[in-house]
Amino acid sequence: MAISEKGKKRYELIVKTALDLFLKNGYEKTSLSDIVAISGGSLASIYTFFESKEGLFQAIIEQEIDALIKEVDERIDLKISHSLEEFLTKFATIIFSIICTKKNISLGRIMMSEGPKNGGKLGRVFLDQILNRIDLVLINFFERDEIKAQLNPKFPAKFAAKSFIQSVIGVYYYDALILNEEPKLSKKEREEHVALCVELFLNGVRKKLN
């Protein structure tokens, strides 16, 4: 269904308002009526665009991941070749700087709370987006012929991608979820953290030269 310019603005305003309220009050404590009271329009508009509160939250997650993928694409030209170490360093720096922001930590806390409910419906949406969007950037890179030739075939691309991302964000992200605050790292400390993660990863998955 085509959306008019007015409809697009309404859609964007609803998403922005919902995100602000979810972050401020939590997902469960925010009703669709609360969102409409600030964004304007009607409940009918929300049901037309998103079908449900869960659909609205899914749209928010998709928008946030769109922004992350766009930044990766802008800062790392995926159409040209990169050395393995160079790509991993750039990718890790971007992922850490975005995932470990206060906003995304707060979204993560919502997912920890709401994800398992209703049979894990929201949780599956979140994990599917992560797997199909963020992990896929790294998986596709690992499957390039010139990169694949450097990696130990014992480790599948999907396993390698998920392991690397978890090593980059996991050390600090889960502490941040519990404390509800950004990791307190200087620029130098972040660079050192990324460099250590890349070195650890390469020592594990890169083919050993005899």
Q: What are phi and psi of 151, to 5 degrees?
A: -100, 150
Tell me, yes or no, whether 112 lies in a domain: yes
Q: What are phi and psi of 125, to 5 degrees?
A: -60, -45
* Whether residues 97 and 193 fall in one domain: yes
* Whether residues 98 and 196 fall in one domain: yes
In this predicted model, what pLDDT tens digit does every residue of 88-114 receive, in sequence order?
999 999 889 888 888 888 888 888 887
Domain tally, the chain: 2
- The domain containing residue 17 runs over which residues? 1-51
Residue 195: C-alpha distances to residues 139, 184, 200 (Å):
20, 17, 9
CA distance 208 to 155: 13
In this predicted model, what pLDDT tens digit does every residue of 34-45 receive, in sequence order?
999 999 888 999
DSSP code of residue 83: -
Q: Count Cβ atoms below 10 Å from residue 92 Cβ, excluding itself.
A: 23
Residue 90: C-alpha distances to residues 10, 82, 105, 123, 188 (Å):
36, 10, 21, 28, 15
What are residue 206's DSSP bridge partners?
151
DSSP code of residue 100: T
What pTM, to 2 d.p., does this model score?
0.80
* Whether residues 83 and 102 fall in one domain: yes
* Whether residues 17 and 101 fall in one domain: no
* Whether residues 119 and 38 fall in one domain: no
Any idea which residue has 């990324």 for tokens?
194
In this predicted model, what pLDDT tens digit does every residue of 6-62 receive, in sequence order?
888 999 999 999 999 998 998 889 999 999 999 988 899 999 999 999 899 889 888
Any idea which residue has 């993660």 for tokens?
197
